[in-house]
Amino acid sequence: MPYDLPTATAAVTAADPRLAAFVRRAGPYEHRPGDGEPLASLARAIVFQQLAGAAARAIHRRFVAAIGGSVTAPAILATDPDRLRGAGLSAAKTASLIDLATKVADGTVPLDGLAALDDDAIVERLVTVRGIGRWTAEMFLLFELERSDVWPVDDLGVRHGWKLIHDEADLLKPKALQAEGERFRPYRSVVALFCWHAVHVERGQVVAGGEASA
């Protein structure tokens, strides 16, 4: 992890007594490392959009098998679109995966050297791909690149978790949640992860984050 989690947790809980109380009560969330392969991570994000977990996992497995078992731009581009559709992908997702692979292959969206770019530059690069919006780019920053200061205020899971942690009657609007997050810089990612953790705790689950919907 590029940042020190105990240091980050201490900083965000010091900034918010309600968050500190939740962490004492619920304990830490389970850290989920990234895939280690940016293209594979983005392709998985596209496949999983708008789908329940089990169905998405099955389609993703068939997609990987259809392209030969390794998620690379040449492998995607060498696969007939009808074969991708046969794996269970919609026409829109098929087009998105081909667009992603095309832009990675021709250098329009180079994935090498991402560590040297700031968060906004990465988002700006990724949202040029069909089917990748700001939310998907933020999830990539948070989970794959493990950036410390991602604050996805449009995510319903983050908004709901904030409501639970702070015992509020209603979900905060994204603009208001954006303002609330300012005091947690440069560790807003940790707060987002605790918000997801709160939702999972409420549901009686033991792990946090990563598949929240928007």
- For the structural domain made of 38-144, what CATH number should be given? 1.10.340.30
User: Are the beta carbons of 28 and 9 closer than 8 angstroms?
Assistant: yes
Q: Which CATH number is 5-31+150-202's, of 3.40.33.10, 3.20.20.210, 3.80.10.10, 1.10.1670.40?
A: 1.10.1670.40
Q: How far apart are CA 171 and CA 39, in angstroms?
A: 34
User: Helix, strand, or coil here: 42?
Assistant: helix
Q: pTM (2 decimals)?
A: 0.86
- Tens-digit pLDDT string for the chain (214 aa): 688 999 999 999 999 999 999 999 999 888 877 778 999 999 999 999 888 789 999 999 999 999 999 999 999 999 999 999 999 999 999 999 999 999 999 998 988 888 789 999 999 999 999 999 999 999 999 999 999 999 999 999 999 999 999 999 999 999 999 999 999 999 999 999 999 999 999 887 543 334 433 3
Domain residue spans of the chain: 5-31+150-202, 38-144
Name residue, tokens 């010091």.
14
